[in-house]
Structure 1
Amino acid sequence: MYPELLRIGPIVVSSYGLFLALAFLAGIYIAVRLAGRRGIDSDAVINISLVIMVSAIVGSRLLYVLTHLDEFRGRWLYTFLPLRPDGSIGLGGLILLGGVLGAVLVGSLYAWRKRLPYWPLADSIAPALAFGLFLGRIGCFLNGCCYGKTCNLPWGVKFPPESAATYIMGHQALHPTQLYSSGYALLIFALLIWLEQSKPHDGLLSGVFLMLYGVARFSVDFFRYYESQMFLFGRLDLNQLISIMLFCAGGLILYVRNRAQQ
């Protein structure tokens, strides 16, 4: 894996950070293109995209901190300060699902406050989020985080000796859960773009995205390694609980919007 692509003094260009930046740029481009078809001004899309970008990073970090409180006791300064204990610059420790929640909640509030066309805008952003997740998970793979449990299948991956995966799991093949998630996201993106061609009613793409992403994340998590504090009920972890909530929210959107069209 390649967690660090470039180091200039204390500044580290990480593979995860690079792919996260690419995900945001590609997402903004896709959202602007799709919103343009719906007659939405590109400036409005760019503005809400920037809001979503910040809220996604904050949400990802906040969920990580809340599930790793012991790690920050006595050094709360590093909770959101992009300065690592070793003196390098960078924000390590993010949970992607927290970013999805932050993006959806804050983005929705922003659209409501600015009186933007909510469902057409949400349907323009949903495929962009899916493609962003596709790129972001490639960054996770290169970074060596978000790894899976022991895998005896031909595609099991052995991470480098100095990686966190090897430190925790030993030098054995693991499920490449980052690539599972990336593949799922790409399939969801392709399906949403296919549905987009049929000019669906408002809310369809948003509902489908939330439902399919919830299913994808719920299923992948059975193969992913987590610390004990992440589990709530037996084998059910916190992210799976959030995934169930996303699935239900997507189903509710489809039901309500379908009734509105009748």
Structure 2
Amino acid sequence: MAQLGELMIPYPDFNIFGIEVSAYSLCSVVGMLICVAVFYYMARRRNMLKGDLVYMSLAAIVGMIIGAHILFGITRLGNMIRQLQALSSNKTSSSFDTITDIIMENWNGMVFYGGLIGAMVAIIVYTRKTKLPVLEHMDLYVPIFPLFHTFGRIGCFLAGCCYGIESDFGYAHTHSNGVVVNRFPVQLLEAGLNFLLFLVIFICFIKGIRKGRLLQIYLLVYPVIRFCDEFLRGDAIRGKFLIFSTSQWISIILFIIAIIWLIRPQWLRPIFYPRRKRPKTDRE
């Protein structure tokens, strides 16, 4: 079987100044620092370096974390219910700590799509509340989505999660039960495609593409990448309904929304262009 060198996954933790740091955490930190630098450059280029961006970014981060956990919990809801039912049938082993452990186990993970939707909702809500132009500010965040996702997927590869299907070409993946399986590096494939998508969107940003188009490009392209990518995934934790995974269904929905936005932009106008209250006149 062809392998990517002698690489064994999960990759061991890094030792930095005597502190054990996981590969995923290291990739996330590096990705975040690079994203902050890119975001600063874009905001400066658009003359939008204002205090609102700090609070908006904090809102986006909070929305991302909450959304990522919520969607993960939804995909694990059936498993959690089964665990709680099994626990209730065995009253002797039931305890508050055990119930808490079950809940934490099924809500402690994160799903990218949940984080993406949570971040976008937070940005939209914040801009509407502060009466700032929604799409103009969203343009600053859209290139960050695929860029940070690139580092996240590299981290997934090194951590051994979100792994691919069994394949003659791939890497040696060691499962928790000690079984070693050769798997397709689907995480690296998605990381590469995300980085290409970032470059396309970033170039469009530099060229001054009309506001809102960047989000349209992202919602048209990434769902297609993710939908196809899911067929190469070998982990079942992400959930499945009928013939498609949870992420594939979300990809279909987001792609349809992007198409509707493209051909019937007025249907989504209330979201991005909220109506302003008309001032009362003496005649009224």
Coarse TM-score class (shorter-chain normalised): 0.7 to 0.9
Q: Equivalent residue for 1:50?
A: 58
Contact 2:157 2:185 in 1 (8 A): yes
State whether structure 2 residue 117 is matched by structure 1 residue 101.
yes
Q: Is the 8 A contact 1:204 1:254 kept in 2?
A: no
Q: Which of the pair has more CA radius of gyration?
A: 2
Aligned to 1:157: 171
* Structure 2 contact 75–239 (Cα < 8 Å) conserved: yes
> Residue 207 in 1 paired to residue 216 in 2?
yes
Following superposition, the deviation at residue 218 of structure 1 comes to 0.7
SS state of the match for residue 75, structure 1? helix
Structure 2 CA distance for partners of 1:64 and 1:12, relative to 1, 3 Å: farther
Distance 1:203 1:237, change over 3 A: same
- Equivalence for 1:245: 253
> C-alpha distance in 1, partners of 2:235/2:183?
13
Q: Please, which of 221, 230, 234 is the counterpart of residue 230 of structure 2?
A: 221
- Output the CA distance in 2 between the equivalents of 1:251 and 1:23: 30
Letter in 2 for 1:41: L
CA contact (8 A) 1:28 1:49 kept: no
Whether the 8 Å contact between 1:16 and 1:136 is mirrored in structure 2 is: yes
Query: In terms of mean alpha carbon deviation, does 113-122 or 185-194 score higher?
Result: 113-122
Q: Helix, strand or coil for the counterpart of 1:158? A: strand
Which of 21, 24, 40 lines up with 1:13 in the alignment? Answer: 21
- Cα separation, 2, equivalents of 1:198 and 1:102: 28
| Worse-matched range after superposition: 57-66 or 224-233 | 224-233
Identity of aligned residues (%): 27
| 2:92 equivalent to 1:76 | no
Q: Distance in 2 between matches of 1:21 and 1:191?
A: 24
- AA in 1 matched with 2:99: R
In structure 1, the gaps of 5 or more residues are 85-90
Secondary structure of 2:181's aligned partner: coil
Deviations 1:92-144 (A, max 9, x none): 52222211121112222122112222111111111111111111111111111
> Paired residue for 1:35?
43
CA distance change for structure 1 residues 254 and 94 in 2, over 3 Å: closer, same or farther? same
Q: What amino acid does structure 1 have at the position aligned with 2:203?
A: W
Structure 2 gap ranges (5+): 1-9, 85-97, 270-284
| Compared CA separation, residues 147 and 183, structure 1 to 2 (3 A) | same
Whole-Å Cα distance in 1 between the matches of residues 218 and 15 of structure 2?
Answer: 35
Equivalent position SS for 2:183: coil
Among 104, 111, 132, the residue aligned to 1:116? 132
Classify 1:251/1:32 alpha carbon distance in 2 versus 1 (closer, same or farther; 3 Å): farther
Structure 1 range deviating more: 189-198 or 136-145: 189-198
* CA-atom RMSD in angstroms: 3.0
Is the CA contact (8 Å cut-off) linking 1:148 and 1:175 kept in structure 2?
yes
Q: Partner of 1:140 in structure 2?
A: 156
Match of 2:68 in 1: 60
Deviation by residue 1:145-167 (Cα, 9 ceiling, x = unmatched):
000111123xx1112x3x44xx4
Aligned counterparts of 2:215 and 2:248: Cα–Cα separation in 1: 20
Partner of 2:192: 183
Amino acid at match of 1:202: K
Contact 2:201 2:214 survives alignment (8 Å): yes
State the alpha-carbon separation in 1 of the partners of residues 157 and 108 from structure 2. 15
CA deviation vs aligned residue, 1:44-72 (integer Å, no higher than 9, x gap): 22322222222212222222222223357
Residue 36 of structure 1 aligns to a residue whose secondary structure is helix
Q: Which moved more, 1:143-152 or 1:65-74?
A: 65-74
Give the deviation of 1:78 after TM superposition.
7.2
Maintained 8 Å contact 2:72/2:238: no
Deviation at 1:19, TM superposition (A): 2.0
Structure 1 residues 183, 42: CA separation in 2 closer, same or farther (over 3 Å shift)? farther
> Once the 2 structures are TM-superposed, how far is the Cα of residue 26 of structure 1 from its aligned partner?
2.5
More strand by share: 2
The one of the two structures with greater contact order (alpha-carbon pairs below 8 A, sep at least 6) is 2
| Structure-2 change in CA distance of 1:179 and 1:49 (3 Å) | same
